[in-house]
Structure 1
């Protein structure tokens, strides 16, 4: 609190040097140090309630839906029949809220390492956490690595909703993690992981995508606008075991009526396609960083 101005929360982190995201605070709703991280919930003047973990804004009531919808529906709508879904992380409940909306999804398992985040979300962020009690969802408290080692070949889609690559989430951005997800997928399964912003962390984005490329025959990097994230944008790395997957073209396309019924605010098929149209400097960096022989992979 009060890093730059009294009454404001300012996110200052070496992950995005020279950048600070600040929110005017009307009230501190909750603060604790769990076994894994510092947890802060604040009520803000312009963005409603906000969840902050280890000093980094995870979501605000004002714009959380864009992240949750995109990390969920980009992979779900790229899979022909996403019946069984695994969520790693996502303790605030936002990804679960979106995944259970998809009409083809029958069973969702969520593995969250920090139960304190879920309890805080249930109390202070019910607009996100309500789906933690959805009948499609089973919640497991524990380590995602250990869970997937024991559940091989079970999931059509795996979504990793992690915090940034510091502290307990650092291991979720390594090549070994992408290989572990592959083993937990059914044939032709798809993964999607939060992968940072190219505007402030292009090296991190390229490294994460390259880890994904070593494991999956089809990969892609897509983007979404989230105003309260550093640079106003976040990206996702996707990988598919099906060599015919085309992430740019959604398999499942919803009508306006269906989108309204699901209370979608950001995602539709046009946004899906546009997510993979990248600025030239990003496209060039991701292409030039690729070290795997061209004939060994297919990519957008």
Structure 2
């Protein structure tokens, strides 16, 4: 236990009468999500955020940051696999991967499945998230000790600023932004300046970035269009994808993927694996899921300018 009190005494304002409630008038107006709680495992107020870890009755251990579910053991692989394998399977030869955020270790775990990847750098501002993930989410955090992984504790924005002067050999083929929602310090990860830094941190014209969009077509599609427009000011190819995750409010999360290569077709994997290997490595991702994740309803595709 992080706090020196009995588990039975742990309380949190998001949990009442045995139920966790995710309610946010700013992020999810007019709707909410609830999970039944078996017991609270830990509550920590880090220098950066309020962190809650609880065991649910049906979704395993759950990580909550500032009142918003980040993952559950039951469905985390859907998000982790899609945000990782969409860009890695779209790049012809990914060797170096940068992860901004992702202190739970899920994206590291997935990136390590690519044997040709030689280096994975994770930049996480909150060491507490890493520590709690190792304690309560060992299946997700299993890759931290891999020799290909390098962890930097600090601000991802500042890391990218320092990288501008780096030699090209220290830049990256794929950059994955696994950040919090655009509130407080995380707002910087949804602005043009940030995507310009991402572009500069890519090693060549085949470089690919992907970010969680914090939205989907059913919540506030205007924010998705604004984000796509912002990224399009920097990258010539930008597409909206999504993954289905039942414990994200409304059950879906948008992903925005972009390439420096104006000829890139991100909707079709550049590389693929035999079906048997896909089944061995992945629980959610496969080549068909890759393609279909870009298929949007007519009204959404038209609104977002997706062909």
Shorter-chain-normalised TM-score: which range?
Answer: over 0.9
Task: Map Cα deviations across residues 136-158 of structure 1 (whole Å, 9 max, x no partner).
Answer: 11000011111112224410000
Mapped pair 1:147 → 2:124:
no
C-alpha deviation, 1:5, in angstroms: 4.9
- Equivalent runs, 1:1-300 vs 2, <5 Å: 1=12, 5-13=16-24, 14-152=26-164, 153=168, 154-188=171-205, 189-195=207-213, 196-262=215-281, 264-287=282-305, 300=307
| Runs of 5+ unmatched residues, structure 2 | 1-11
Separation in 1, partners of 2:80, 2:231: 21
CA contact (8 A) 1:2 1:10 kept: no
| Runs of 5+ unmatched residues, structure 1 | 288-298
Separation in 2, partners of 1:139, 1:4: 33
Separation in 1, partners of 2:245, 2:157: 28
SS at match of 1:198: coil
Instruction: Count how many residue pairs are aligned between Structure 1 and Structure 2.
Output: 288
C-alpha deviation, 1:4, in angstroms: 8.0
Residue 292 of structure 1: aligned partner: none
Distance 1:3 1:150, change over 3 A: closer
Task: Map Cα deviations across residues 148-189 of structure 1 (whole Å, 9 max, x no partner).
Answer: 122244100000001111123121111111111001011121
SS at match of 1:165: coil
SS at match of 1:197: coil
C-alpha deviation, 1:260, in angstroms: 3.3
Separation in 1, partners of 2:284, 2:65: 24
CA contact (8 A) 2:14 2:67 kept: no
Task: Map Cα deviations across residues 114-135 of structure 1 (whole Å, 9 max, x no partner).
Answer: 1010001011111111111122
C-alpha deviation, 1:104, in angstroms: 2.2
CA contact (8 A) 1:2 1:8 kept: no
With 251-260 and 265-274 compared, the bigger mean Cα shift is at 251-260
Separation in 1, partners of 2:35, 2:13: 10
- TM-score normalised by the chain length of structure 2: 0.91
